[in-house]
Amino acid sequence: MKNFQQNLKTLEAADTQVLGVSMDSWFSNKAFADQIGVTFPLLSDWGGKVTREYGVYKDEYQAPRRVNFLIGKDGKIMEEQVDDAAIDPTKIVDACARPKLKN
Amino acid sequence: MLGALLWEGVSMRNRSSRVLAASLLLLATTAALAQSRKDPAMPKVGELAPDFTLKYSDGHDLKAVKLSDYRGKKNVVLAFYIFAFTGG
């Protein structure tokens, strides 16, 4: 999440809203956001309905895998990063900086 | 007489083993069905992202965020993470 925060200006300049999602309570998410200085919403998928709809629920963790989706203004998925690759958001930041996204 | 009794015993055993086999089969089928009723796969690049409404706390209130509200306005990065207080 910190990595997205560090790139937030670039992402916002490219008309991009960042949303974190986990199965934690909104209470722990707020505490987490405050601790690491995240200013974008950390959404609570309590019960995991949305996590399962996106196919990212992992039994082993009883929680989501680490996955980033970049969703375009048309609501379609443009980029995906899974597990370790999802820690570094460069690919998504670069994709956002591409001019085609600025329409 | 003894033969008849023996035969009865054997057929009983057969019947119970058939019942056992049938229950095992039923169990296996149920397990297979449960396995196949898995979560949907991850949506692929180019597919529509499933809509949702989820909440977060801004410190005072709970606020709802609906994915489709950004349609036509903003791109959205949806970052699933394992637990609060983990790195990344």
> Distances in Å between the alpha carbon of A64 and those of A21, A26, A34, A59, A68?
9, 16, 21, 9, 11
A chain contacts of residue B70, beta-carbon cutoff 8 Å? 17, 71, 73
Report the distance separating Cα A87 and Cα A53, nearest Å.
Answer: 22
pLDDT value at residue B26 = 79
* pLDDT (tens digit per residue) in B47-58: 999 999 999 999
Rounded mean pLDDT, B12-29 = 76
Q: Enumerate residues 6+ apart whose C-beta is below 8 A from B76.
A: A16, A17, A18, A19, A69, A70, A71, B49, B67, B70
> Distances in Å between the alpha carbon of A83 and those of A48, A57, A88, B18, B24?
18, 12, 10, 48, 38
Optimal mutation site among A3, A17, A25, A60, interface B, most CBs of chain B within 10 A: A17
CB of B2 within 8 Å of any CB in chain A?
Answer: no
Range A2-102 classified under CATH 3.40.30.10:
yes
Predicted confidence (pLDDT) at residue B43 exceeds the cutoff of 50: yes
pLDDT value at residue A47 = 94
Percentage of the residues of chain B whose pLDDT score is greater than 90:
45
pLDDT value at residue B2 = 55
A chain contacts of residue B84, beta-carbon cutoff 8 Å? 22, 24, 28-29, 31-32, 42
Digits of tens for pLDDT over chain A (103 positions)?
A: 888 999 999 999 999 999 999 999 999 999 999 999 999 999 999 999 999 999 999 988 899 999 999 999 999 999 999 988 877 878 888 887 776 554 4
- Residue B25 DSSP SS3: helix
pLDDT value at residue B20 = 81
pLDDT value at residue A103 = 46
pLDDT value at residue B21 = 81
Query: What global pTM score does this model have?
Result: 0.76
